[in-house]
């Protein structure tokens, strides 16, 4: 018996993936909708690996209401939705306000529409301490006045809270809890999931771990002339697993009818403020690694200091942040190391570029070649290993009408077969269905089954040694 189904939007992302793990551990079934615009498909496998449970994953854009409706209609009795999906880079939101308003607001409207349509009663919403701007009184409570947002991103969170308040007011069967997150950092103890910023990180801790790993030359500290004890900005850092657990508690509160209002708001932080310099020093203590720092000017839109008064969440939700700062930082470092090592191994395993993949598919397509299921399987695997194509449907059309000549050179032929075998591996083995697919290509390449078996054995051994 499970506790019921929860739809998690943005569940392949940083906070969503950690929350999916906690939901599964708590006995819920998890359905994820994510368009992977800021995340990776392999994270879904990792959630399943950590929990040993299945995730129902749909790669879809929440802006596409018809698709979202179709997905949700396939499940009955969804008990609640946790809505994480949003764009979150403050600086980018200043440059691209329309993109941010559209993605963050329309996705919420679509979520509220499906809730009404299918009678899904409970919503947990990802809000942010950014709604407070620079508070006049610290620690900041939920009662603090909401000031004019400093960025379009911040404004989307303010507007979203208002939209939810109006919607639950108008519909007596809807309930919601908005969690105003402070600064989530760290990663799951397994080091299988964590924060995965695309490009140069906007947040302090990924910048610190990437600098420690040698990916960045130095850590830029934005301003040391703030009115704080050491002059650097102060935030309330909370471990992402503590934050994830707050979502489960919030959902359980609504599901068991213990909420006091139809829309409630809670601060989710530790209640402690730490400066940038304190984080850098604690990272050194946690890992023994030195970080080269460079003090540069203040960053536009940054506030001086903020930390949470968490007494409402502590009292009402019975929830407390437990994981200490040092552990937050060592878990972030363990994730950075594990992720970098994995991606290096992955790349080495798949010596596959787009051109090679195109030839491989063209070979497979030709007379009596791969069937639709095999093609689907291969395209998904190629996406997983980082082959990127702007429009897969058009690309497939082009490939299916393209003839690639079988190479004369036997080594080159074996290379193509080895590429296919790599793609065919599932959990370190080539199983029967995928073996049949490899056999088809071997036949076209005039490589006999005995040689194919040798290649498979070699590659399986390679994977075993890597694991």
Ligand X SMILES: NC(=O)c1ccc[n+]([C@@H]2O[C@H](COP(=O)([O-])OP(=O)(O)OC[C@H]3O[C@@H](n4cnc5c(N)ncnc54)[C@H](O)[C@@H]3O)[C@@H](O)[C@H]2O)c1
Residue number, 11 or 364, with CB nearest to ligand X? 11
| Whether 280 contacts 242, CB under 8 Å | no
Residue 183 sits at φ, ψ, to 5 deg, of -110, 100
Candidates 14, 87, 153, 226; catalytic one: 153
107, 232, 267, 272: residue in contact with ligand X (rule CB under 6 A): 107
Q: Is 316 in the site for ligand X (CB under 6 A)?
A: no
Question: Cβ 463 to ligand X, closest distance in Å?
Answer: 28
Largest Cα–Cα distance of the chain, in whole Å? Answer: 76
Using the Cα atoms of residue 131, residue 135, residue 138 and residue 142 in order, give the sign of their dihedral: negative
Spell out the residues 6+ positions from residue 294 whose beta carbon is closer than 8 angstroms to its own: 218, 219, 220, 221
38 is a contact residue toward ligand X (CB under 6 A): yes
Strands 274-275 and 234-235, bridge-based pairing: antiparallel
Per the annotation, the verdict on 237 as an active-site residue is no
Establish if 12 lies at the interface with ligand X (CB under 6 A).
yes
Give min distance, CB of 305 to ligand X, in A: 16
Residue 23 interacts with ligand X (CB under 6 A)?
A: no
Q: Which span (60-68, 217-225, 345-353, 365-373) binds ligand X, by CB under 6 A?
A: 60-68
| Shortest Å, Cβ 411 to ligand X | 40
Q: Which two tokens stand for residue 233?
A: 């900005």
DSSP letters for 394-435: HHHHHHHT---PPPSSHHHHHHHHHHHHHHH-BTTB--HHHH
Q: Tell the smallest beta-carbon distance from residue 81 to ligand X (Å).
A: 13
Q: Interface with ligand X includes 269 (CB under 6 A)?
A: no
Stretch that binds ligand X, among 7-15, 167-175, 260-268, 276-284 (CB under 6 A): 7-15
Q: Which stretch binds ligand X (CB under 6 A): 32-40, 389-397, 402-410, 419-427?
A: 32-40
Given the complex with ligand X, which of 178 and 438 has the nearer CB atom?
178
Which residues ranging from 119 to 178 are in contact with ligand X (CB under 6 A)? 126, 128
Angle (deg, nearest 10), helices 392-400 and 354-365: 50
Judged by DSSP in three states, 24 sits in helix
* Cα-trace Rg, the chain: 25
- Give catalytic residue positions: 153
Residues at the site binding ligand X, with contacts judged by CB under 6 A: 10, 12-16, 33-39, 61-63, 84-86, 88, 103, 107, 126, 128, 181, 183-184
């Amino acid at each position: 018996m499970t506790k019921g189904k929860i739809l998690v939007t943005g569940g392949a992302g940083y906070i969503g993936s950690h929350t999916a793990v906690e939901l599964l551990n708590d006995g819920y079934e998890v359905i994820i909708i994510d368009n992977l615009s800021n995340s990776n498909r392999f994270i879904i496998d990792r959630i399943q690996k950590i929990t040993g449970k299945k995730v129902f994953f749909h790669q879809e854009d929440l802006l596409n209401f018809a698709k979202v409706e179709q997905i949700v209609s396939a499940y009955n009795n969804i008990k609640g939705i946790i809505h994480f999906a949003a764009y979150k880079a403050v600086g980018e939101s200043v440059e691209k306000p329309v993109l941010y308003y559209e993605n963050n607001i329309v996705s919420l409207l679509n979520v509220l529409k499906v809730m009404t349509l299918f009678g899904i009663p409970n919503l947990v919403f990802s809000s942010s301490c950014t709604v407070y701007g620079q508070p006049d009184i610290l620690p900041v409570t939920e009662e603090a006045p909401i000031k004019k947002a400093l960025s379009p991103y911040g404004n989307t969170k303010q507007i979203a809270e208002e939209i939810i308040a109006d919607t639950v007011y108008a519909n007596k069967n809807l309930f919601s809890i908005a969690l105003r997150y402070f600064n989530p950092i760290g990663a799951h103890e397994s080091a299988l999931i964590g924060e995965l910023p695309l490009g140069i990180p906007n947040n302090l801790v990924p910048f610190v771990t990437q600098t420690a790993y040698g990916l960045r030359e130095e850590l830029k500290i934005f301003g040391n002339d703030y009115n704080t004890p050491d002059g650097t900005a102060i935030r309330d850092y909370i471990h992402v697993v503590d934050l994830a657990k707050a979502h489960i508690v919030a959902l359980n509160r609504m599901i068991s009818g213990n909420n006091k209002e139809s829309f409630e708001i809670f601060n989710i932080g530790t209640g402690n403020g730490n400066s940038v310099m304190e984080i850098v020093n604690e990272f050194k203590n946690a890992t023994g690694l030195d970080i080269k720092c460079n003090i540069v000017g203040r960053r536009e839109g940054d506030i001086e200091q903020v930390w949470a008064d968490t007494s409402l969440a502590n009292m009402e939700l019975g929830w407390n942040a437990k994981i200490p700062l040092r552990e937050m930082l060592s878990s972030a470092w363990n994730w950075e190391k594990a992720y970098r090592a994995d991606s290096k191994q992955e790349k080495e395993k798949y010596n596959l570029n787009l051109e090679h993949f195109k030839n491989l598919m063209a070979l497979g397509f030709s007379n009596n070649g791969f069937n639709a299921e095999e093609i689907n399987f291969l395209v998904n695997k190629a996406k997983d290993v980082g082959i990127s194509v702007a429009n897969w449907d058009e690309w497939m059309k082009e490939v299916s009408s393209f003839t690639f000549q079988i190479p004369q050179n036997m080594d080159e032929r074996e290379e193509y077969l080895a590429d296919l075998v790599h793609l065919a591996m599932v959990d370190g083995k080539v199983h029967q269905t995928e073996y049949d697919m490899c056999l088809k290509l071997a036949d076209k390449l005039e490589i006999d089954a005995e040689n194919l078996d040798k290649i498979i054995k070699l590659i399986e051994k390679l994977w075993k040694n890597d694991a």
